[in-house]
A and B are shown apart, each in its own frame.
Chain A
Amino acid sequence: MTDRHPPVSDWASDFDHTDPAWIADPYPIWDDLRRRCPVAHSPRYGGTWLPVTHELVSEVAYDHDRFTSRSVVVTERRPGPDDPPAPIGVAPPITSDPPFHAIVRRMLIPAFAPKPIAALEPFTRELCRELLAATDGRSVFDAATEYAQHIPVRVIIRFLGFPQSDADLFRYFIRRVMEDVDQTPEEREEVLGALDEYMDAQIDDHRAHPRDDLTTFLCEAEIGGEKLSQSHIRGTMVLLMIAGIDTSWSAIGASLWHLARHAEDRRWLAAEPGLMDTALEEFLRAYAPVTMARLVAKDCDFHGHQLKEGDWLLLPFPAANRDPRAFPDADRVLLDRAENRHAAFGLGRHRCLGSNLARMELRVALEEWLARYPDFELADPAAVAWSGGQIRGPRQLPIRIRP
């Protein structure tokens, strides 16, 4: 909380997704707004909108005329005239609009298909076992920082072909870019500059020494017979790094947090491995980590609200997933929920490119954890801390292993 972000007094007219109340437990806030609005507005970040029903979130996700993806992280720094224009954005394809979006996305999709992702599973499983083996003999440890966090970091590093020894540096960049969103514009420029510099060094190294990984793939990829620009490659790598790490970390952590607090679900899942298919999707629905954002592309009316070009709009897929009109018993976690059209990976053309990767990581992380530690609980519920910003997950999660 800073001077620019005083405590929220009214969520319908002054919401802030970095407020401690939102970070601790956003679900009652969204429930309240769903009844009262259901589109909230805040003057913060220069003007931000927030629809909270599944219907309205879907409508925005499918509408590329009124809403642009040019920037998808709400901060004090809006894209200016010197930033890449709307069709491309700083981190293609997540910041791209049609038609360029489809071209870039098409190039990347094969790398994230079920088959290549399945090839990463043995590495992931071995990594999970190593991380758990390192906790051997300890009755209390932090599942967020000592387990969940390391899994996507090291899988993405392997995917990109960066040195595994850069894992700590990776985590630093992710925290600064994704979570510290109340930086001044100058502070933000500095972080993004340092990240660009790091990426450039990796790209140069791959150009000099090509190998079988995603960075070399991007260096050699062509669109319309032309190689990708350095800024395009860098942007896509930054995207994979920031979109692929905090997100999976959060999903794994939140699932373990749930299991630590619900003995019946823990025992059920440990006893019936076949339940994992639906349980995985239910964790993703109930604890969806990712809230996306759009910029309003042109002045328009949105269900009686006058949106102005350049306004931010938060796209809370986690709120859509808790909408009782879309999901019966929306606030209950039902591990065998048979009908589950959740939007954890978004909806429409920007559906998460890495959803197969994320599901593999979450499944393997939970399977390996439960195989080793079928019985566990929160060591100190008051010590659990959740991330701020648009990716929600536990950042401190002390767990006690029960003998």
Chain B
Amino acid sequence: MALRVHVDPDRCQGHNRCYSIAPDLFELDDLGMSSEIGSGLVPTALVAAARRAEANCPEHAIRLVTELVTEP
């Protein structure tokens, strides 16, 4: 199982809540809009931070998706 975060760019208004909670999972562009870093894969150590980021976005812009990952 793997957890991914995704920021919906149409909903994000640049509150920067996710970035302040989990700067290792989110990055800001020049306009302060957030997006997930890379593929949004959440390392085990950051699962709690990812959930906090999702639970504190005023615009409901963050989605957490649990994926089944098959080992290569």
Contacts and interface: CB of A to CB of B under 8 A. Distances in A.
Interface of A: 106, 109-110, 112-114, 277, 281, 338-343, 345, 347-349, 351, 355-356, 359
B13 A341 contact: no
Contacts, number: 48
B28 A341 contact: no
Given A106-B31, A109-B32, A339 B13 contact: no
B16 to A, nearest CB: 6
Given A114-B19, A347-B13, A355-B16, A341 B31 contact: no
Contacts of B59: 347-348
16 contacts: A109-B14, A110-B31, A112-B32, A114-B16, A114-B19, A114-B20, A114-B28, A114-B32, A281-B56, A338-B55, A341-B56, A341-B60, A345-B15, A351-B13, A351-B58, A356-B16
B30 A351 contact: no
Contacts of B57: 341
A355 B15 contact: yes
Contacts of B14: 109, 351
Which 5 residue pairs spanning A and B have beta carbons closest together?
A339-B55, A351-B13, A341-B58, A109-B31, A109-B32
B11 to A, nearest CB: 9
Nearest to B31: A109
Given A348-B13, A349-B13, A351-B13, 8 more contacts: A109-B14, A114-B28, A339-B55, A345-B58, A347-B13, A348-B59, A355-B16, A359-B20
Interface in B15-68: 15-16, 19-21, 28, 30-32, 52, 55-60
Given A109-B14, A347-B13, A342 B28 contact: no
Nearest to A356: B16
A124 to B, nearest CB: 17
Contacts of B52: 338
Contacts of B16: 114, 355-356
A346 to B, nearest CB: 9
Contacts of B15: 345, 351, 355
Q: Interface residues of B: mostly helix, strand, loop or mixed?
A: loop
Interface of B: 13-16, 19-21, 28, 30-32, 52, 55-60
Given A109-B32, A355-B15, A356-B16, A342 B55 contact: no
Contacts of A348: 13, 59
B33 to A, nearest CB: 9
A342 B30 CA distance: 24
A174 B16 CA distance: 28
B58 to A, nearest CB: 5
Contacts of B28: 113-114
Contacts of B20: 114, 277, 359
A342 B15 CA distance: 11
A110 B58 CA distance: 21
A60 B55 CA distance: 22
B30 A110 contact: yes
A359 to B, nearest CB: 8
A341 B28 CA distance: 19
B53 to A, nearest CB: 11
Nearest to A339: B55
A349 B10 CA distance: 11
Contacts of B60: 341
A340 B58 CA distance: 8
A14 B11 CA distance: 36
Contacts of A359: 20
A248 to B, nearest CB: 16
B56 A343 contact: no
Nearest to A281: B56
Contacts of A347: 13, 58-59
A359 B15 CA distance: 11
Contacts of A106: 31
A339 B56 contact: yes
A109 B59 CA distance: 18
Nearest to B51: A338
Contacts of B32: 109, 112-114
A106 B52 CA distance: 28
A338 B53 CA distance: 10
A394 to B, nearest CB: 25
